[in-house]
Amino acid sequence: MAKEDDIRGNVPVNAENLAVRPVAPVHLAVIMDGNGRWAIARGRKRLAGHRAGVDALERVLEWCKDAGVKVLTVYAFSTENWKRPKDEVSGLMKLFSTFIRMKSRKLVHERIRFRVIGRIDDLPPELAADIAKLEKETASFERQLVLAVSYGGRAEIADAARRIAADAAAGKIRPDDVDEALVGSRLYAPDLPDPDLIIRTSGEQRISNFLLWECAYSEFYFTDALWPDFSREDFDAALASYATRDRRRGGHA
């Protein structure tokens, strides 16, 4: 077994190591979808669904700790979500601010590093400032919660390309220097390992512009559960499914 595989937790599955410890993803990413439908089914406003979605996120963060997941990345707001009605967008921005203000002490106490990936410059300035403050306060912690806000996979790759082009124009790099490692190094959180498992809730089976570069060899798990209803059983089922996957990464079986 290669040492690098060992560190990343991608140990080949066989009866022996499954019996000792199910293989947990090091990096779990979640497309938290279905908040609106959850609220509408209850005759409530969509924002009530987003609020319930925050509670679901808190529960999942706890379960990640139990399961040994080191990085949890959650898709909270896409570059396309700016197209939604103004009151939903402003309600979501307020919800992100409240989440950060209410949870910052807990995150510090639990030693969880908080960071945001996405076009931070698009966010209300107070929210961007709160994010920067909490990112700084928690920068030294090992476990991580990564919030994808105003995030688009294409935007992330375009932003990386723009920075590389600027470096080339300034003579810092040559076109021949551009390779996968260089592009990867200009992404929003270049130090993170790629997501091992991506879960999407609410029955939709699409990527919706999430982690396009990083998902090259991710495993996928889809569940019909709406995000606010996502339960411990759903979480355990996703991780159990992941533990059976044969991650060949283009190699042979």
Residue 206 CB, shortest distance to Mg ion, in Å, is 10
- C-beta of residue 115 within 8 angstroms of C-beta of residue 147: yes
- Shortest-Cβ-distance residue relative to ligand IPE: 36
The candidate with the shortest Cα–Cα distance to 88, out of 21, 143, 40, is 40
Burial class of residue 247, CB neighbours in 10 A (0-12, 13-18, 19+): middle
- Residue 81 a catalytic site member: yes
Considering the rule CB under 6 A, would residue 188 count as an interface residue with ligand IPE?
Answer: no
Considering the rule CB under 5 A, would residue 33 count as an interface residue with Mg ion?
Answer: yes
Instruction: State which residue, 33 or 219, has the beta carbon closest to Mg ion.
Output: 33
> Residue 150 binds which one of Mg ion, ligand IPE, none, with CB within 5 to 8 A depending on kind?
none
For ligand IPE, which stretch binds (CB under 6 A), given 25-33, 156-164, 169-177, 228-236? 25-33
Ramachandran class of 27: left when φ > 0, alpha when ψ lies in -120 to 50, beta otherwise: beta
Q: What whole-number distance in Å separates Cα of residue 73 and Cα of residue 56?
A: 14
Q: Please state at what angle helix 46-67 crosses helix 232-243, rounded to 10 degrees.
A: 50
Q: Name the active-site residue from 10, 17, 35, 81.
A: 81
Residue 80: which residues within 8 A CB-CB, separation 6 or more?
A: 152, 208, 209
Considering the rule CB under 6 A, would residue 230 count as an interface residue with ligand IPE?
Answer: no
Among positions 30-89, residues that touch ligand IPE (CB under 6 A) are 31-37, 75-78, 81
- C-beta of residue 143 within 8 angstroms of C-beta of residue 71: yes
- Residue 159 a catalytic site member: no
* Residues in touch with Mg ion (CB under 5 A): 33
Active-site annotation, residues: 33, 81
Chain contacts with ligand IPE (rule: CB under 6 A): 31-37, 75-78, 81, 92, 202, 204, 206, 208
